[in-house]
Amino acid sequence: MNRRFASAAWFLLGYTVLVILWGGFVRATGSGAGCGSHWPLCNGELIPHSPRVETIIEFVHRLTSGLLGLLVLGVVVAAFRIYPRGHTVRKSAIWTLFFIVTESLLGAGLVTFEWVAANDSVERVYVMAFHLVNTFLLLAAVTLTAWLASGERKLPLRGPGVVRLTLALAGVLLVGSSGAVTALGDTLLLTQGLSPDESPVLARLLATRLYHPSAAIVVALFVAWVAWRKNPYGRPLVMMLTAQLALGAVNVYLKAPVWMQLAHLAVSDAIWVLLVLLAATALTRQPVAGSR
């Protein structure tokens, strides 16, 4: 085990979460159009002059996202220098690079097609859902890179419990993507001031918003059942699931203030990371076929 590389990978995970949260802040405050439809420039400038608050928020997100890309590239280069050909750390690092590229392309697409701020197009709804899925897959890749680098482990993708774990991961992805769509509806209604009467897309988002909490409860119960076993990540995961259901209820009651949306997103990230760690740990603890 290379302790320096493992520490760098865990740091990368923490920084990735912070960048994700700032991205949520950009969306919740309606600041996605702060740099206009220009990318990677901001309002046609490398460094914006006399920026508005929205411009500062969006520009900071671009700077921190750019730094994240450089950090990911550094981790990939280090992984190829430290670990031999075919090593799982190399593979997970490559997946991290892949998902940071797709994450950047999705962000660029939102800006250049102007699917930000008060835009209420159907395309934006689908892209926001897919953006969340890609973000979670990026988090999973970074998490596995750090976890694999912290010990000599192999990650089998078959064996007892794989189906349950796969369903749990897929369920959380589904709930997360529906949450991104629900949050978009809150942004359009509460931050941008759109009315369902003037926006058919917003009207549909509001009409289907009960699906998200309903699905969240069902998936949380299933994940808790899967997690409540002999696994070091089981109890923390169940605690986070319980806290998330409570936060979701409070978020609805308070009409989704920005700080509550960010808290909700932060716990979502924590749940996903814990579930990935739980799945990885459970798979590596399985007995090898033919062993006694």
- Is residue 26 packed enough to be buried (19+ CB in 10 Å), middle (13-18) or exposed (0-12)? buried
**pLDDT above 90 covers what percent of the chain?**
86
Does 249 fall in a domain?
A: yes
Residues 140 and 1 grouped into a single domain? yes
- Please give the residue range of the domain that contains residue 201: 156-287
The SS3 assignment for 23 reads helix
User: What are 238-283's pLDDT values in tens digits?
Assistant: 999 999 999 999 999 999 999 999 999 999 999 999 999 999 998 8
pLDDT at 17: 99
Does 108 fall in a domain?
A: yes
pLDDT at 288: 41
Residues 222 and 257 grouped into a single domain? yes
Domain count, the chain: 2
Residues 140 and 12 grouped into a single domain? yes
**Domain end (from 134, 152, 170):** 152
Residues 138 and 199 grouped into a single domain? no
User: What are 91-137's pLDDT values in tens digits?
Assistant: 999 999 999 999 999 999 999 999 999 999 999 999 999 999 999 99
Residues 44 and 171 grouped into a single domain? no
